Structure 1
Amino acid sequence: MTHTLVEWFSDIHGWLFQSVVQPLLYMLTLGDVTEEAFDGTEWFLLGLLELAILFIVLRPLEAWIPVKKDIDPSARRIDFLYSCIHRLGAFTLVVFFLLDPLFDLIAGHLRLLGVVHFNLETLWPSVTDVPVVAFLIYLVVLDFFDYWYHRASHQFGWWWGLHSLHHSQLDMNLWSDNRNHLLDDLLRDIYLAVIALVIGVEPSQYVLLVAASRMLQSLQHANVRVHFGAIGERLLVSPRFHRTHHAIGIGHESKGGGTLGGCNFAVLFPVWDIVFRTARFSREFAMTGIRDQLPPPEGKGRDYGRGFWAQQWLGLKHMREFARRKTS
């Protein structure tokens, strides 16, 4: 009997857990977290699958139609490390599943008071509760809130101090999406997990929502000369549209030339940039980075770090230093 991909995945998941993870838990006397470890094994495999798909699909495209031909190999390696931390370590999902029991507890107390937990799927019975429709609604709602989180990280000095690490990549590539300060990611993951739980997203749905969003964001950051056309770029964030957000100067500075500001903050759907007047459509594939990291006289030669630990430490220093900057 032929197996579907889902069945193959389930078989591998079960084998890995029973043969490796479960024996290790019992050896370390951690049998009380078996259920959580079973879910964690699934997240690990999903992350591994994501990395494989991204490499198979996007790496040839980067070699075939690159925006920038000479990419520093060390820049790609450090970004790949960030991707492994987030995709294989289930950084985002761990936060959601840690908060889920807390929300269940709160929901239980609210039910005793006669308050029913809100769920977007109940808004239009027989329509919003259709799995595909519910998935798309959740994706759009979460993206709306993600737009505002992203925009805020460009408006407050201390926040930009953390987020600037993501923009300091001069050689954007398919792994650059995950090049973030861990504290910034933790704040974002808590923020989105809380919103997801409030609107009624189930754990299984959240896993798929996160995976879909991450795959699209990896495409946006890839070193590929790809755009979606005049109409397509207004429906879905393309590599060209997002590259403008990473452009030196215009991507993270105000129109008046100030330090904070920028354009193209949408994570998946450009409609938010269009509605809130932060969209900038360009035919150019801009060079990326931050103005002040360029050598004088163009910039200040600011160091954002080359290695993982240096980047994390400098991010904290920049957070403190940039907290004194004014918003645009």
Structure 2
Amino acid sequence: MIAWLLTHAASTRFAVVAGVFAVLLVLQLRMPRRGDHSAPGRYVRNLSLPLISAAIVYLLLPLTLVGLATLLAERQLGLFNLLDWPPLIELAITIIVFDLAIYWQHRAMHELPWLWRLHRLHHTDLDFELTLGLRFHPFEILFSLLCKALVIAALGAAPLAVLCCEILLAAFALFSHADIRIAKRWDQVLRRFVITPDWHRVHHSVHRAETDSNYGNLLSIWDRLFGSATEQPRDGHLGMRLGLDEFRDEASQRLRGMLMQPFLDATTPTGKNDKPHA
């Protein structure tokens, strides 16, 4: 079974994440938090980005992350390939380290000018709903893959653990952006451990202090531990404005404008041209 999953890692990941997307879409339509459901064209543009990214990754990178983990295992490279730890312990550590690395990668993308250029497309969306979890520039996807590859190489993470991480992190990227109404008492319980939509929506606020907070992808502990947590938006979840003020025009929301984001000179929320966002 494991051999089959690894042989069909890409299709397995796609099938599981597509299933999560479908479930969240139904929940979003039946129990919306804000009703951020704009014109169909926006959905098409947001869904086009991962397809473009997948094509670029396929053309440029010789190995998938699971393929890299398999190669490292064959050559006995990386920490876990030198140790004899139980697979579940290795899986847990891999998930935690992956998530911590993604936290710092995300934070760096707000603090370093050249990385903010790659990332700010994700913040130009004026709505907060499921497809926003797929709205990333292909250059950011490439950078993220390289960062993950470094983590895999250092850990010598098992191929199955890498596949599990990819599925889990992709699923939470969708969940945390879904426009789903979760009862306050349940949200308060969940956010103690994982990122909820209400927790992450704060990160998409127009207010700089809120945008530069709540960086986590899976676990909420990192924001609390490193002082970047904002529990609630100042304007309330129903009244808060989303996006970046300098990219609210129609041209910025078209696919061409979205793909051109890293090459545009624009005043960032810091008030200075191409300076760090935080």
Same fold, judged at TM 0.5 (above): yes
Correspondence for 2:15: 48
Shift of 1:84: 4.4
Pair 1:310–1:48, CA change in 2 (3 A): farther
1:256-297 CA-partner distances (Å, limit 9, x unpaired) = xxxxx6100111111111011110011742442112234xxx
Shift of 1:316: 2.5
Shift of 1:183: 0.9
Out of 80-89 and 190-199, give the one that drifted further: 80-89
Pair 1:136–1:87, CA change in 2 (3 A): farther
Q: Select the residue among 209, 223, 227 that pairs with 1:277.
A: 227
Contact 1:79 1:176 (8 Å CA) reproduced: yes
Pair 1:326–1:243, CA change in 2 (3 A): closer
**5+ residue gaps in structure 2?**
none
Shift of 1:73: 1.5
State how far apart, in whole Å, the 1-side matches of 2:50 and 2:253 are: 17
Matched, 1:96 2:65: yes
Contact 2:103 2:216 (8 Å CA) reproduced: yes
Contact 2:251 2:257 (8 Å CA) reproduced: no
Contact 2:69 2:158 (8 Å CA) reproduced: no
Shift of 1:210: 0.3
Matched, 1:119 2:80: yes
Matched, 1:58 2:17: no
SS in 2 for 1:188: helix
Q: Select the residue among 210, 215, 218 that pairs with 1:268.
A: 218
Correspondence for 1:28: none
Correspondence for 1:244: 202
Correspondence for 1:76: 43
1:147-190 CA-partner distances (Å, limit 9, x unpaired) = 11000100122221221101111122222222111111101110
- Show the 5 A alignment for 1:284-323: 284-285=236-237, 286-294=240-248, 301=249, 303-307=251-255, 309-318=256-265
1:30-76 CA-partner distances (Å, limit 9, x unpaired) = xxxxxxxx94x541343034213321x11121112213324222112
1:171-216 CA-partner distances (Å, limit 9, x unpaired) = 2222222211111110111011111221121222211210111111
Pair 1:318–1:183, CA change in 2 (3 A): farther
Aligned length: 266
Pair 1:100–1:49, CA change in 2 (3 A): closer
For residue 290 of structure 1, what is the amino acid of its counterpart? L
1:3-48 CA-partner distances (Å, limit 9, x unpaired) = xxx69x95xx9xxxxxxxxxxxxxxxxxxxxxxxx94x54134303
Q: CA RMSD in A?
A: 3.6
Correspondence for 2:107: 151
- Show the 5 A alignment for 1:119-198: 119=80, 122=83, 129-198=85-154
State how far apart, in whole Å, the 2-side matches of 1:193 and 1:199 are: 10
Contact 1:170 1:289 (8 Å CA) reproduced: yes
**5+ residue gaps in structure 1?**
1-5, 14-37, 109-115, 256-260, 295-300
State how far apart, in whole Å, the 1-side matches of 2:241 and 2:82 are: 42
Pair 1:160–1:144, CA change in 2 (3 A): same
For residue 312 of structure 1, what is the amino acid of its counterpart? L
The higher-RCO structure (CA 8 Å, 6+ apart) is: 2
SS in 2 for 1:175: helix
1:77-134 CA-partner distances (Å, limit 9, x unpaired) = 22222344567998699442565588579x67xxxxxxx8422893xx6xxx333332
For residue 200 of structure 1, what is the amino acid of its counterpart? G
